[in-house]
Chains A and B, each alone.
Chain A
Amino acid sequence: NAGVTQTPKFRILKIGQSMTLQCTQDMNHNYMYWYRQDPGMGLKLIYYSVGAGITDKGEVPNGYNVSRSTTEDFPLRLELAAPSQTSVYFCAAGQATYNEQFFGPGTRLTVL
């Protein structure tokens, strides 16, 4: 099992560009999450999903959008990229019963 996979690993965007960060899990977990991590900081929740077709905002949703059409996939969309969105983005999957979350390898995004 691959667990949680993310693509791309690295990306440089120009201000105002858009992109989609991909996240796929093969663990059959209903719950999925997107976090951002800035240098020296913990993880901030951007969006989460409790199942296909159901998403909700986390702590820092502005500038992002998500969709969840299948159990496996949970893409994160950045519209009109801004330098403040320079960060490392982690996708995670989990089962609420245990609160344990399994993380993907991350995407390092730079907006110039």
Chain B
Amino acid sequence: QKEVEQNSGPLSVPEGAIASLNCTYSDRGSQSFFWYRQYSGKSPELIMFIYSNGDKEDGRFTAQLNKASQYVSLLIRDSQPSDSATYLCAVPAGGTSYGKLTFGQGTILTVHP
């Protein structure tokens, strides 16, 4: 089983809709979770992180964590064409991680007008 799995998509939603991106992880000991956004031809940038079970909201973005089910999701409300990008889920690598992250393969999101 891969350590971090994401639906590769592509996911297409209309402008103004809610986009839901999902990620599952295999290490039950994972304590923190990260969502990076990567525009085409650009580098990843951190948009959300979450440590505790439940929801964390930041503007139009909400991260949801369910440790019992080992999944983390990212909701984007009122999706805009500018949200079109690849979204990468990441968790700290196991053991003594030294800040290392294990990334999922990413979900391509397209928001169409």
Q: Give every chain B residue within 8 A of A105 (Cβ-Cβ).
A: 42-43
Is chain B's interface secondary structure helix, strand, loop, or mixed overall? loop
A42-B103 in contact (CB<8A): yes
Q: Give every chain B residue within 8 A of A95 (Cβ-Cβ).
A: 99
- Count the B residues whose beta carbon is within 8 Å of the partner chain — how many? 22
Q: Which of B14-22, B44-52, B54-62, B75-83 contacts A (4 or more CB under 8 A)?
A: B44-52
Output the nearest chain B residue to A51 by Cβ-Cβ distance.
B98
Give the contact-size bracket for chain A: 20 to 34
Q: Give every chain A residue within 8 A of B100 (Cβ-Cβ).
A: 33, 45, 48, 58
Q: Give every chain B residue within 8 A of A102 (Cβ-Cβ).
A: 46
A50-B98 in contact (CB<8A): yes
How far is the CB of A107 from the nearest CB of chain B, in Å? 11
Contact of B97 with A by CB under 8 A: yes
Interface string of A30-56 (1 = CB under 8 A from B): 010100000011110100101000001
Residues of A56-101 at the interface with B, using a CB-CB cut-off of 8 Å, are 56, 58, 90, 94-96, 99-101
Q: Give every chain B residue within 8 A of A58 (Cβ-Cβ).
A: 100
How far is the CB of B10 from the nearest CB of chain A, in Å? 10
Residues of B within 8 A of A (CB): 4, 8, 32, 34, 42-46, 49, 88, 92-93, 97-101, 103-106
Residues of A within 8 A of B (CB): 31, 33, 40-43, 45, 48, 50, 56, 58, 90, 94-96, 99-106
Closest 8 CB pairs of A and B: A96-B99, A42-B103, A103-B43, A42-B105, A31-B99, A43-B103, A94-B99, A50-B98
